[in-house]
Amino acid sequence: MKYLGCDYMEHGLSFEYKDLYDCCMMHHDNLGMPLLIKDYNGEKIDWDKIFDIKRERIERQKIKTIPECEGCYYLKEKEFTEEKYISEVAFQQIKLCNAKCVYCGDDFRYHKNYYDVYPVIKDLVEKGYFRRTDYGLVIFQGGEPTIMNHFDDLIALFNEHNANIKVNTSAIRFSEVLAKGMETGNILTCISIDSGCRETYNKVKYVDKFDVVCNSIRKYSDAANVSQFSKLVIKYLLTPGYNDSVEEIDLFFAKMKELNIKNVVFDVEAGYSTLNHRKDVSPHIHYLLDYAKKCAENENMNFEIFSFAFYVEQERQIPYSEEIIADKAKLIETVNKYKIENVSKNKTYAIPANYFVD
């Protein structure tokens, strides 16, 4: 029987700071992340119980979409697979980071007490419950994964099983193990630089590491080019009031060309897009996404949008305008006009804490 579901609901695990979920997908009105185990702290997992919870949830989903998943972009009509396996794994239990991004807003990001996931993942693999699928993904995010305990061991373990791996890293700390894994395995490394120059990088990240990151990007790019399977993607998170200008996007693409980057992804900052979803999103965000796509085409780079940008584009209230995008002066004038008119919609961010891991 077909139902409106997703692979995360059937085969996903998301390790969070204090809980275990089906997925890490947050979407409209702070919905998302169906709970599997509350107050989880790295304990041994009864896998049969996990699959029972998933099956019961799917039965409810067949009747009516559960509240957590209402409006989620990733829902699709699919057949329920009876087999018990995990193919989607997200690691977000580490909140330590070596950047202090202004948009993070994570109350636990400077907390040193995070649990070690390696023992339970080793158990998952040894019991045969992990399965590599074409669309399955092991993703490291939520803090800086390269500084987490057993990061190297986890990369090696999943590489042995030919898993599709994605690592979201600040690239402030260069990882030789990750670079080697990119050369030999199927690893997508995503670096969110959110800028094209040192000044804007410092304003967004609150650390003076732009040159260090660019050096890491160059080395990861070299590693990715060795493998036909691995890929390096550089991310630009549009954060209104910080990096939402035509000029900064120009600087970004100039730097990406200098670093021989082939893949870029644009997104819209989560706090802003949930606060201003649907018609409330400022039109200048749409124009900047359109312009970024055009810049990528001009530089023969692959362009994607991700996560909250999907919702922004789905709900856009203005049509695409080739005339405005092609005329730099008109585009800048239009973007600046809407920025001024919609400045009250910008999110106010807390000042990042002073403590972080260098």
> What pLDDT is stored for residue 54 in this prediction?
96
Mean pLDDT confidence for 96-117: 74
Nearest-5° angle of CA 272, CA 136, CA 162?
130
pLDDT tens-digit map of 333-349: 999 999 999 999 999 88
Q: What per-residue confidence (pLDDT) applies to 348?
A: 87
- Residue with tokens 């585009």, as numbered in its chain: 331
pLDDT exceeds 70 at position 357: no
User: Can you give the pTM of this predicted structure?
Assistant: 0.86
Pair of tokens at residue 306: 């991700």
Q: Which residue has the higher pLDDT, 149 or 60?
A: 60
- C-beta separation of 236 from 306 below 8 A: no
* Residue 273 clears pLDDT 90, i.e. is over it: no
Quote the pLDDT of residue 308.
Answer: 87
Q: What is the pLDDT of residue 345?
A: 94
List of domains in the chain: 1-84 (no CATH), 167-345 (3.80.30.10)
Token pair 């910080």 is found at: 242
The continuous run of DSSP H or E covering 283 comes out as helix 283-298
Q: What is the rounded (10 degree) CA torsion for 250, 252, 258, 262?
A: -110
Average pLDDT estimate for 254-272: 95
pLDDT over 90, % of the chain:
70
Task: State residue 190 phi and psi, 5-degree precision.
Answer: -115, 125
Residues 156-170: pLDDT tens digits?
999 889 999 999 999
Question: What pLDDT, on a 0 to 100 scale, did the predictor assign at position 323?
Answer: 95
pLDDT band at 100 (very low <50, low <70, confident <90, very high): confident
